Structure 1
Amino acid sequence: MASRRVTISILLLVVVAISEVVAGQESIGGETEEFEGKAIVPEANNLGQWAKGLLKNIPQDASGPLAMEPVAKFPLILAEERTKRPDFLDKLRFYVDGWNITNEHYWSSVAFTGVAGFLLATIWFLSFGVALSLHFCRKWRGKAKQREPSSAWLALLILFTCAASIGCILLTVGQNEFNAEAISTLNFVANQSDFTVQILKNVTDFLSFARTINVGPVYLPSDVQQQIDKVKGDLTDASGTISQKTQENYRKIRLVIGDVRHILILVASLMLVLALLGFTFSVCGHRHAIYIFVISGWFLVAITFMLFGVFVIIQSAAGDTCTAMDEWVRYPQAETALSNLLPCVDERTTNQTLYQSKEVVVQMVKIVNRVISSIGRRQRQSGSGGSHYRRKYKPPLPYLCSPYDTDLHDRECKSREVPIGNASLVWQNYTCTDAGASSCTYNRSTINPIIYNQLVMAANVSYALYYYTPLLLNLQDCKFVRDTFSTITTQYCPNLEGHLRLVCAGLALISTGVLLCLVLWVFYANRPRRVEEFVP
């Protein structure tokens, strides 16, 4: 949240800072070679390699004030059809406000989807407890009559045991897949957060570099430098907060996912052992041992039913969230519940920022080319004298290519222009290594290191604005978040929902299978034995 609040001020502050430099440079006259300065600047290519290739879907229409009008918003209820459920807090009336994690009525409606599991757990626990009590009472009074079970009973027992075992397998596979997909989704979100932090840190480095900008004797005013220091502090705090919160939430969610995984593995293992041993003891007629498994299964089935209800709630919430994110991405101009959670800069401010940054880039390129043109004129003036100079003649120093034309539309570089991304490498070929060498004295197309640093400094500022502005705009207008949500809904949500359905199916099959096994165990273990079974 803090990062979004400061990014717009960062861009505007950089625009003001560079405008000050442009104004100062335009007032400097005289020989270019007489400029003084000791600024050491990183090459443009090293300033932001991480930013290349990320200029996708930027607001190309923001070419002037006419593109700065705000776009009308319209209300949109997210996941409206999915979330029409009875609401416990509203006397079971249908909830109609859509996905909204800040609304307690939404969570009440989500909780209703898992009521079947908890209701089944309650009914099972009470009814089987009463039935088991009655069975023991009849047995103690000697009134229980046992029948010889038919072969169909054994077939049913085998069938239900196999069903419970298959449920354990489905639960194991489902929880493994769900755990892997959940961790993958969590890692993706964490990486996106780390990428945002890296953007803010790189902008902080750029601000530190912009603070040292000087062209000849002109430096940034002290009040602008103080503002840069303040924004740098805010930006550092914002990136630090994001990084800290991301790490804390990452650890907490990983612990929860790990705990859920361990619980499901434990339930699957216990239920599988319970089903197999219970079947064995019931067939063998170990009456006393089977009652231990019956009582244990009584509690475990109730727990499994409750876990089924919990995972149905998780599945419903996950499906609602995926649907809400997908609708939010598809309708970017809508006013939704996510608009309050992720406040974005309006399109007018975003376009204005891009417009101003483009304008500053064009102005900076004009200033650089004016200096290069001055060097070229002195070269032509010196070219008429002496064969010594003509022997050392080099092609003119290439101009800096402006990525925008006068109307701030994209343009292609001409043959004698060098792109701002590699201007430092090209200009380095025109820089002498020794300011006192004869090549610097007689060859007027060669520039000394001081002038080279100042030209590269200006190119780096243009490069930073050209490549960094769209990235910052992506953070401001929530495009970065939309891209993240779009990736989650298309690549992660389908798998997560499928694995959750598999977990729910496994829990339902285990509960039903073991429930029916418990009933048969009691009767099968207490079947009357034939006399011949005891004959040695």
Structure 2
Amino acid sequence: MSNFKPFRLPLISLLLFTSVVTQNSSVSASPFVHNRRFNRPDPLHHLRLYKGGYDIRNKHYWASAAFTGVHGYAMAGIWVMFGLGFGSYLMVKGFNGGFHPFLDHPSSYFLACFALIAIFILIAIVFSSLILVANQSSLHKSKTLMDTIFGAASNMQQTIEAVMRGFSKIRALLQPYDRQTSDLLNQITNQMRKETISIQSFVEEARQASNRAMKAVYTANLVFVTANLVVLVTGCVILFLHWHPGFTILTVICWILTTVSWILTGFDFFLHVFAGDTCAAFEDFEQNQNSKNNGIMSILSSCSNLSTSDKFMAQIGYTVHKYIAESNSEITSLAFKMIHPNDQSDDSFMIQKICDPFSGPPNYTYAPGNCQQDAIQIHDLPSILSTLTCEKNTPSDICKAEGRFFPESAYGKTMAYIQSVENLIATYPDLQNLAGCTPVKRAIADVALHQCKPFRASIKLLWASILTLSIDLMILTLFWIIKAYQEKGRHFSLCSTVPRNPQQNL
């Protein structure tokens, strides 16, 4: 009985877990990759089409996505060139003797121009307000989305740390009895420690970068809209005061604001495209996460496939199931030999069995509630085993009479394996979450099903509002020029809309 060695922990599950951890390459290099292909001009590749997928590591993806806002950038360039040309014309004309006076116009002409300016100022104020609302909404929804993703990464880190703690306990228990398994567990925990450091570094860097980007976009839109509202209010004051030099200053400022507005229009359209690509990638992963062609994250490369993670967890279930089955068989055999040493068999002999929290083949599903009511729980084994252990110096007759059939020589090692399996079972839910990348998959499902639609809507509203405002500012700037020529050399009463002397030429 001193050679009793039934409590062995098979290494196959630990080796499988090592392969899972090893295949998960550094998280800091993990991109989102969407299997849909794009056909967009790539300015970094002489405007040849970018035909790759959604890959945030690829500079050509970023360049092609940013190029989608070319309409805004082009309009800004055209508006600047037109402004420089018009300004040069005015300067040349001024040096050559000024402008010919305009013909007199009826009061309705001044009233119509005033009404149109008022309408376009009102439109600009309305859409500036919409931009403020959409800007705030997009910032909030972007933060929520990023918090969901980074929260999932942090949960993965915490899960790995929980598994590490469980493995460390098992390693400490097995070190005196099973050096090979202990060393293997040490290698696994060291590898997992590197993974937690990598995840933590990735989360911190990505969170800081995303926060800076979101704040930069939010601040740019906020500063622009604030400046635009100030100019619009100032324009209303100048319109009623009829301060002619103010119209010239106002025209120059509005020209600059219109240029900035078109730049932001292009940039916000790029954000709209990027938001659509990102959500499409999440939605595709949610719908096809078990597809062999799906690769939204390299971090999910070894566990996004359901069959792979199921096989891994089934192997752990098989490990514990086999251990408990062997233990029950050995304990029953020992008890029978101790109590009936001369009998070959006795079908009436019964002993309580250790609870097996895993179902049988082929899946070995974790189901702790399936144990029989009188079964011995794993966590109760140490106290029960101590009452069944026959001390070395105690005669076998006394042990037999007291029902203590377990040899003391195997007690220490047996207890170590019992507690190891107990820790493995306690760690099993964390292992299950880690093998199936459950926190990340839940985060992606939440983003795809609940957050993407309002997120895209807020970005689209931001882009549509600033596009409309850009068009409105162009028209309004032209009306400021017309108004400046209308009022040149004329005299108006305060807050009037028509000149006091309509017959006076400019």
TM-score normalised over the length of structure 1: 0.70
Is 1:142 the counterpart of 2:98 in the alignment?
Answer: yes
- The match for 1:111 is 66
> Which stretch shifts more, 166-175 or 511-520?
511-520
Q: How many angstroms does 1:509 deviate by?
A: 2.6
Residue 320 of structure 1, aligned match among 264, 274, 277: 277
Give ranges in structure 2 of 5+ residues lacking alignment: 9-32, 341-349, 392-398, 494-498, 502-506
Residue 371 of structure 2, aligned match among 410, 413, 416: 413
Instruction: Check the 8 A contact 1:84/1:95 in 2, yes or no.
Output: yes
Residue 231 of structure 1 aligns with an amino acid whose one-letter code is: I
- The match for 1:257 is 214
Summarize deviations over 1:152-201 as a string: whole Å, max 9, x none.
Answer: 11111011101111121011101101111111111111111111111111
Instruction: Check the 8 A contact 1:115/1:309 in 2, yes or no.
Output: yes
- The match for 1:509 is 468
- The match for 2:166 is 206
Q: How many angstroms does 1:246 deviate by?
A: 0.8
Taking the TM superposition and a 5 Å limit, the aligned residue runs for 1:286-435 are 286-331=243-288, 332-335=290-293, 338=296, 343-344=301-302, 350-370=309-329, 373=332, 399-405=354-360, 407-410=362-365, 412-418=370-376, 423-424=379-380
Instruction: Check the 8 A contact 1:402/1:419 in 2, yes or no.
Output: no
Summarize deviations over 1:124-161 as a string: whole Å, max 9, x none.
Answer: 11113322343455456232434554311111101110
**In 2, Cα distance between the equivalents of 1:245 and 1:150?**
62
How many pairs does the alignment contain?
437
Is 1:25 the counterpart of 2:13 in the alignment?
Answer: no
Q: How many angstroms does 1:451 deviate by?
A: 10
Q: How many angstroms does 1:322 deviate by?
A: 1.5
Residues 306 and 289 (structure 1), Cα distance of their counterparts in 2 relative to 1, 3 Å cut: same
Q: How many angstroms does 1:459 deviate by?
A: 4.7
Residues 455 and 223 (structure 1), Cα distance of their counterparts in 2 relative to 1, 3 Å cut: closer
Q: How many angstroms does 1:348 deviate by?
A: 6.9
**In 1, Cα distance between the equivalents of 2:413 and 2:177?**
18
- The match for 2:436 is 474
- The match for 2:196 is 239
Is 1:153 the counterpart of 2:113 in the alignment?
Answer: yes
Summarize deviations over 1:228-262 as a string: whole Å, max 9, x none.
Answer: 22222221122112112211221221122122212
CA RMSD of superposed structures (Å): 3.9
Summarize deviations over 1:507-534 as a string: whole Å, max 9, x none.
Answer: 1232222222222223324434358877
**In 1, Cα distance between the equivalents of 2:405 and 2:177?**
28
Is 1:275 the counterpart of 2:232 in the alignment?
Answer: yes
Is 1:486 the counterpart of 2:445 in the alignment?
Answer: yes
Residues 150 and 85 (structure 1), Cα distance of their counterparts in 2 relative to 1, 3 Å cut: same
Residues 347 and 263 (structure 1), Cα distance of their counterparts in 2 relative to 1, 3 Å cut: closer
Instruction: Check the 8 A contact 2:238/2:246 in 1, yes or no.
Output: yes
Is 1:194 the counterpart of 2:154 in the alignment?
Answer: yes
> Which stretch shifts more, 307-316 or 149-158?
149-158
> Which stretch shifts more, 442-451 or 514-523?
442-451
Three-state SS of the structure 1 residue aligned to 2:35 is coil
**In 1, Cα distance between the equivalents of 2:295 and 2:312?**
26
Instruction: Check the 8 A contact 2:251/2:480 in 1, yes or no.
Output: yes
Give ranges in structure 1 of 5+ residues lacking alignment: 1-22, 29-75, 382-394
Taking the TM superposition and a 5 Å limit, the aligned residue runs for 1:64-143 are 78-80=35-37, 83-88=38-43, 95-138=50-93, 141-143=97-99
- The match for 1:221 is 178
Summarize deviations over 1:472-506 as a string: whole Å, max 9, x none.
Answer: 3213xxx6544432322222221221111111122
Residue 501 of structure 1 aligns with an amino acid whose one-letter code is: K
Instruction: Check the 8 A contact 1:368/1:400 in 2, yes or no.
Output: no
- The match for 2:13 is none
Residue 335 of structure 1 aligns with an amino acid whose one-letter code is: N
**In 1, Cα distance between the equivalents of 2:220 and 2:284?**
34
Three-state SS of the structure 1 residue aligned to 2:436 is helix
> Which stretch shifts more, 466-475 or 171-180?
466-475
Residue 134 of structure 1 aligns with an amino acid whose one-letter code is: Y
Instruction: Check the 8 A contact 1:304/1:511 in 2, yes or no.
Output: yes
> Which stretch shifts more, 404-413 or 451-460?
451-460
Three-state SS of the structure 2 residue aligned to 1:248 is helix
- The match for 1:230 is 187
Residues 255 and 212 (structure 1), Cα distance of their counterparts in 2 relative to 1, 3 Å cut: same
**In 2, Cα distance between the equivalents of 1:445 and 1:221?**
26
Residues 111 and 372 (structure 1), Cα distance of their counterparts in 2 relative to 1, 3 Å cut: same
Residue 324 of structure 2 aligns with an amino acid whose one-letter code is: V
TM-score normalised over the length of structure 2: 0.74
> Which stretch shifts more, 102-111 or 169-178?
102-111
**In 2, Cα distance between the equivalents of 1:259 and 1:339?**
27
Aligned-residue sequence identity (percent) comes to: 17
Residues 373 and 458 (structure 1), Cα distance of their counterparts in 2 relative to 1, 3 Å cut: farther
Instruction: Check the 8 A contact 2:155/2:439 in 1, yes or no.
Output: no
Q: How many angstroms does 1:378 deviate by?
A: 9.7
Residue 366 of structure 1 aligns with an amino acid whose one-letter code is: A
Residues 363 and 239 (structure 1), Cα distance of their counterparts in 2 relative to 1, 3 Å cut: same
> Which stretch shifts more, 184-193 or 97-106?
97-106
Instruction: Check the 8 A contact 2:309/2:435 in 1, yes or no.
Output: yes
- The match for 1:163 is 123
Instruction: Check the 8 A contact 2:35/2:293 in 1, yes or no.
Output: no
Summarize deviations over 1:286-336 as a string: whole Å, max 9, x none.
Answer: 112232222122112111110110111111122112212322332332335
Instruction: Check the 8 A contact 2:352/2:376 in 1, yes or no.
Output: no
Q: How many angstroms does 1:272 deviate by?
A: 0.7
